[in-house]
Amino acid sequence: MDAPTTRSADSGTSGGGGGWFAPRNQPATTPDSEQETTEANRPTDTRPLDRTTAGGPTPPEPDASQTDERAPVQRPSPPQPPPHVPDEPLTADPPASASPDAVLIRGTMAEVAPVADKVTSYFYALLFVRHPSLRSLFPAAMDTQRDRLLKALLTAAEHIDNTEVLVAYLQNLGRGHRKYGTRPEHYPAVGECLIGALSRYAGGIWNAETEAAWVRAYTTISQVMIDAAAADELRAPAWWHAEIVAHDIRTRDVAVVTVRPDQPYPFLAGQYASVETPWWPRIWRHYSFASAPRSDGLLSFHVKAVPAGWVSNALVHRARPGDIIRLGPPAGSMTVDHTTDSGLLCLGGGTGIAPIKALVEDVAEHGERRPVEVFYGARTDHDLYDMDTMLRLQQSHPWLSVRAVIDQQARLQLPDAIRAYGPWNEYDAYLSGPPGMIRSGVDALRDIGIPTERIRHDSVEELVTVGH
């Protein structure tokens, strides 16, 4: 998608972005979507985007050191089985096959990599100084996820040649950002400030040709996201309200929270949802579904309260039946491929056992007898809070085997335990748990010969802040 070469947004000549990255099509407003944005009980208030007149005064340049912003990255949503998007960083094309724009974009990425934090801070400083109305789309108190919006945009741009995976990734982003109140008219402002931050910190190599490449890339990126959001708006709400109907304390810091959505909530076993509580508006955290879809429509999450975890502590220690939370769309591609009869090798650590349990139920409901091997890892016996449930499933299904791996007893980490069993050549692997376990587990699985494309897990980057 071509776009004209323009002067740097950092120069202030583009004002509020009118004409830059202008979306090709605006999604049609339906009666339902109009009601969503006007209801008084919706926490997110999306106001019109502020614009400055071309040729008018240039906004003051911000002090990048005084900002601390973030916006979460989103991942795939069903109702159909989502395409499997690799959870590891996308593999860049070899230089010989890269397009000219991709070469320029990767050159920019290499230039700004050593000062990534400054780029992030300056990007948000530009965004909120030039477009203060966008501040309402972000939490009042910004936390460690502040760089995720920019990181998602840079990831997409860097892999602009990888069309199949890139489009799926961007469609997920576009759908997921609906719950923040993101509208098509917001994209030009983000593009303007992205160019502004890059041009400032890649000044050594930045020129008109590089800027044109970024403008073209962002125009493509934003249009895919806008189109995906518009299509999703016709079939699903931006979020669901859900009433807590059960709150079961399993340990001093783990609770099983069961909710009833206000309307049907389609999802697949192995996926997860973003959750917002009334105590921390506009702060969303991801939790995996702890069961396959149920006939009564109820959803369950296993929540562990972590130190300084705003949302997790609220859900474990403050939430009670009758409280109302909000759910974003289902996401994640850690789902079972029912077109094959491969065995499932599942590694679940801590509350990561929740989606593993859902996968087992999913296999059972499909009437399959494929082997499923579950390794349930924990630091102590006390942390195996859902072991009774897993053992009951094992008693009901002869194709299921469940093994506990307790660090303090065996002095053995969960990923290493799988080496004592196997072989796993005919198995698809699923991992869920703390980021460190995911990383070491993937390494162990690769070491024993399981191909990367047969290893599925939630994004490690997302998991760093899951449950906080």
Q: DSSP states of 247-266 as a string?
A: EEEEETTEEEEEEEESS---
pLDDT value at residue 156: 81
177 sits in the region (left: phi over 0; alpha: psi -120 to 50; else beta) called: alpha
Q: Are 261 and 333 in contact (CB under 8 A)?
A: no
Dist. CA 39–CA 44, nearest whole Å: 10
Residue with tokens 């939630």: 458
pLDDT value at residue 117: 86
Those residues of the chain that have pLDDT short of 50 are 1-79, 85-96, 460-468
Q: Which two tokens stand for residue 450?
A: 């399981």
pLDDT value at residue 47: 27
pLDDT value at residue 86: 44
Q: Which two tokens stand for residue 120?
A: 């992030």
Dist. CA 451–CA 468, nearest whole Å: 32
CA 139 to chain centre: 17
Torsion of CA 238, 15, 131, 9, to 10 degrees: 80
- 0.75 cut: is pTM over it? no
Q: Are 208 and 5 in contact (CB under 8 A)?
A: yes
